[in-house]
Amino acid sequence: MDIEPGRNAAITSVVRPSDETGGTLRLARTDDFDSLDPGNTYYAYTWNFLRFIGRTLVTFDTAPGKAGQRLVPDLAESLGESSDGGRTWTYRLREGLRFEDGSPVTAADVKYAIARSNYGSDVLGSGPMYFRHLLGTDYQGPWREPDVDGPVTLETPDERTLVFRLQRPFAALDLLATMPNTTPVPRSADTGADYRLRPVSTGPYLIAHYEPGKQAVLEPNPHWDPATDPVRKRRASRITVTLGVAPHEVDEMLLDGRAHVDLAGFGVQPSTQERILADPVLRSRTDNPLTGFTWIYCMSSRIPPFDNIHCRRAVQYATDKAAMQKAYGGPIGGDIATTILPPTLDGYEPFDRYPVGEDGTGDLEAARAELAAAGMPDGFRTKIAARKDRLKEYRAAEALAAGLARVGIEAEVLDFPSGDYFESYGGCPAYLREHGIGIIMFGWGADFPDGYGFLQQILDGRAIKPRGNQNMGELDDPEINELLDEGAACSDPVRRAQIWHRIDRLAMEHAVIVPYLYPRSLLYRAPETRNVLVTGSFGMYDYVAMGAS
């Protein structure tokens, strides 16, 4: 019989280390993936999961805690070689890389993956587009310009070499190279928006079956060569994902052994937390890490009445952060937040632009003063978008609405599915304007563990998109944009951290983002799991490391 190593053991060590292979690793999720297309996804748990089937130019080491943020070459033989003051980066692919059908992976396949994901927003709209911002060019994407070989600033001089020629210096291209959109895509297999149904594998597993909203099944990829892969181990003989399960049912599946992992990585529901924490054996199987996210909500600066900064500031002061924290289970669910950057990233420094009292319930007097300055002393009406299958988020939205009502702000909470939340609803500015939705609930984590990776997509005015938009406040401040460019080019870590902190303060002055929680997840590791660790790169269990007896 295994002896439980104790609570929080997987934050600093590997729990139940084993070279054992075989068995089925079972995962469960309340909704569907946002997309299994590596070029059209923006959920952290999907990025974590996709490492089973797709390899990127660079990846993160399989190690617990901060060590899990260490960069290691994946498809590439080494980390990128920088020249020309950080404007030119060269990567050379390993020998022997193959797709699941046995065909070789070439530099052209990686270039096409970047082209379709960063320049194909007419078909794919949900993934990050950092490469487009850095590579520039007037290229219109593979569907509008099918005869053009991608952006001319991304060169493939031979089958194993990629050369990125950037418009401006960028010191952290290796971090961008970890993102799923550097996963090779064979052009002949690309089915556009439907590629999410059957992406072609380069990792240890391939998709044997996928029924959206119901189930995904992974089986071994016969052409994955472990000799070329420094990170992944194929520990399980099969991986199943049960989708569309009610939140409390996911918890029951974990506790009764029908599932080993909650794929979302945000921890069990508050009622289950109470049950687990009251039982010494169950409690010993949990980890409660800071996730590296900040739970926030945004107010669109282009949707009335939030085009008035005093209305936004009134909401800041009227927010009952203590009640919203309670929706996540109290302190076990996270620490009350006052900054956009989380404590896990360089550049974080504590400050509180809109204090809500020592008890965290709000400063109603300050809120009423801002309403008076806005010319709306009696308050106003708005709507809140939230994902109901994320029960804790939805309850936090209800707590927010109740807090705002104390100063006459009537906020109706609307529920949406999480699968296409950013593609069709919360990340679609036209939809928000059409339906008068002024407040959008979501959580944010770094696209890569760096201040730029956290801040750029949610604060850069040049990142606003018609679909899959993450800058939901629609903020476009030239000073913030310039600071982001300065930080991106800076190789001095101390100066970079200072820049990220300055941006945090400037953004809070605009009041478009309300940070309310630095979340902690109460993660449950089923006793059958092996090689369990919390990775600092995703703030959840590292799925590719895991196996099951």
In the chain, % of residues over pLDDT 70: 99
Give the chain's mean pLDDT. 95
pLDDT class of 419 with cuts at 50, 70, 90: confident
Q: Do domains 9-53+196-288+524-548 and 68-188 have the same CATH topology?
A: yes
pLDDT over threshold 90, residue 474: yes
Q: Is pLDDT above 90 for 495?
A: yes
> Could you give the CA distance from residue 27 to residue 10 in angstroms, rounded to a whole number?
18
Q: Which residues contact 331 (CB under 8 A, 6 or more apart)?
A: 325
Q: Which residues, 6 or more positions from 534, have their beta carbon under 8 angstroms from its beta carbon?
A: 10, 11, 64, 65, 68, 287, 289, 523, 540, 541, 542
Between CA 478 and CA 460 the distance in angstroms is 9
Per-residue model confidence (pLDDT) at position 4: 61
- For the cut 80, the answer to whether the pLDDT of residue 398 exceeds it is yes
- In contact, 270 and 323? CB cutoff 8 Å: no
pLDDT band at 417 (very low <50, low <70, confident <90, very high): very high
Which pLDDT band, with edges at 50, 70 and 90, does 470 fall under?
very high
Q: Between the CA of residue 480 and those of 92, 468, 486, 490, 503, what are the distances in Å?
A: 35, 21, 10, 15, 6
Q: Which CATH class for the 9-53+196-288+524-548 domain?
A: alpha beta
**520-541: pLDDT as tens digits:** 999 999 999 999 999 999 999 9
* Cis amide linkage into residue 305, ω under 30° from 0: yes
The pLDDT value given to residue 420: 87
247-273 pLDDT, tens digit per residue, is 999 999 999 999 999 999 989 998 899
Q: What is the largest CA-CA distance in the chain?
A: 68
Residues 6+ apart with CB under 8 A from 486: 499
Residue 169 has pLDDT above 70, yes or no: yes
> What are the residues facing 419 on neighbouring strands?
none
- Strand 439-445 with 293-299, pairing: antiparallel
In this prediction, residue 1 has a pLDDT band, given cuts at 50, 70 and 90, of very low
Confidence label for 509 from pLDDT (cuts 50, 70 and 90): very high
List pLDDT tens digits, range 198-211: 999 999 999 999 99
Q: Which CATH number fits domain 293-519: 3.40.50.970, 3.10.105.10, 3.50.50.60, 3.40.50.20?
A: 3.10.105.10
Element (H, E) at 27: strand 24-28
pLDDT tops 80 at residue 10: yes
The structural domains of the chain, with segments of one domain joined by +, span 9-53+196-288+524-548, 68-188, 293-519
Strand-strand pairing, 238-242 and 334-336 = unpaired
> What burial letters (b/e) apply to 250-269, b meaning 16+ CB within 10 Å?
bbebbbeeebbbbbbbbbbb
- Here the tokens at position 267 are 């921890």
Q: Which phi-psi region, left, alpha or beta, contains residue 136 (left: φ > 0; alpha: ψ -120 to 50)?
A: left
Give the length of the chain. Answer: 549
Q: Answer whether residue 316 shows pLDDT above 90.
A: yes
Q: What is the mean pLDDT of residues 231-258?
A: 96
Q: Percent of the chain having pLDDT more than 90?
A: 92
Q: Is the pLDDT of residue 2 over 60?
A: no
Q: Decide yes or no: CATH 3.40.190.10 for domain 68-188.
A: yes
The token pair that represents 82 in the structure block: 């920088």
How many alpha carbons fall within 13 Å on the CB side of residue 102? Answer: 1
DSSP string, 180-239: GGGS---GGG--GGGGGGSPPP-SSEEEEEEETTTEEEEEE-TT--GGG-SS-----SEE
